[in-house]
Structure 1
Amino acid sequence: PEQWLFRIAHNAAQDHLRRRHRERSRMTEIDMTTIEDPSGSADARLAAAAGLRSFMQLSVAQRGAVILVDVLGLSLHETCEVTGATLAATKAALHRGRAQLRILAAEPEQAAAPRLDADDERRLRRYVDLFNARDFDAVRALIAEDIQLEVVNRLRLRGKAEVSTYFGNYDRISDWTLSLGFVDGRPAILIRNPQEPDGAVRGFMLVEWRDERVVQIRDFRYAPWCLIDAEISTVEGPASLEPAPSRASGFVP
């Protein structure tokens, strides 16, 4: 989805700014007076520092223009080629998007906690409890015949027969436990390694439902860049079942 594409672009921009800061910090004061930084505009710095929620409050045209020009560094003409918009429309969207980002950056950040509705929490909690108990036959009973699975950065599977092998892979390893939470405000299943004392989130899953059946799973266990700067929160509630012992080791997608 657009959110994860944005995160990659956003992180690339932040990495660039951090590298430039380290390079500049090594220069003497005299060196600094002789250098003009062509990419250090206030708008570019603001766009690189902006969070996902701020960008999602822009219109599609404004968001696209700001990301392409101020985050990825494309020229106006290159941006027109990517978006198919006219030069005048691109300039207008970029101007309005920059102005809106400045307004949003000046506002106090709203920290309203995301919430799950009762049905979503019930379905997700059952999925997590069965997964943690390694009752994968019961988990397979929850998935639809036309289910689609993506282990991001690894593989894609379609249909219940193919996707059923995915659960066997988790059954062979013990470096995970699941819990309910949110990633950037979106309901998610958080993956932690119970053997790590810090308890940090190491990945997450997004599960889509149709009625009482799972129709899509996106597993970000092997896409750690999606966690960089992500807003992660845990859903408090009844304790999930403890993970049952695994039978072997080594995840084989």
Structure 2
Amino acid sequence: MTEVDGDFDLRVEPFRAELLAYCYRMLGSAHDAEDLVQETYLRAWRARERYDASRASLRTWLYRIATNACLTALEVRGRRPLPSGLAAASDPRGPLVRGEDVPWLQPLPDAWLDPARTAIDRSSLRLAFAAALQHLSARERGALILRDVLGFSAAEAAEILGSTTASVNSALQRARVRVKDAGTGREPSAAEQRAWVDRYMRAFERADVEGLKRLLTEDVVMEMPPMLNWFAGRGNYGVFMDWVFAASGTDWHLEPLAANGQPGFAAYRRRELHTVQLFTVADGGITRTTVFQDPDVFALFDLAPTLGGPRP
């Protein structure tokens, strides 16, 4: 490796985490985002001699490469929804229905983004926002993320997307309308959110359904990919949790974790890894629970398949 090559590596490496977050927002898959960041760096390395600092900053240039990689990937990959984006709410007394063929939205573990070294707007990674992005076209996603999340100017976003300023502004307006109800508004501090979920964990381990319900807002939502079922309202949530403990017993152990800037836990039932659960918390309590039961999601968190056992 030459001195120039080594200098190039040092200059591009600080952008890796923010590019990972960008590719995740674009694709809704942590695994795909990791692959595309690797592809971005490979393409950048091959094109390093053609980089012209007088035309664009290094950051803008890398985002252009990452965007091209994402747009290419999205030509052959479908959107990644959550159950609430596919059908009406379910009756909690009905049978569970698996959506095995749906490419579900994945969480992005907080551990993948070093908070001490990377200034990333965690609210723009929330599952609800990531799910809303999946309903946009690829270029609408790009325009919204580049302009409203990352703060690029319209001219810079047009350069990154290989488009015109007018086209970017038009795509941005359409995108804003479609995601306005999944905004990234005010929320409790991270410590307050964790405290709400810690209380939920204690009630869960006691199989205390009434205790769980007291921590929920009236319009709380629970969804459980890969199940197509999802439930709305505190009463329906309680009915379903009564069934969970009746069907699966009360021998549970929970391990805290975090993803998408949201608190959560890994749930072990009879010492076997059962689910990863993430929570959206507002001032009045828990507004959404997203429960993942997917080996690919478990692998993201490097979770041991049995309590106290070796990690994969």
TM norm structure 2: 0.41
In our comparison, the structure showing a higher alpha carbon Rg is: 1
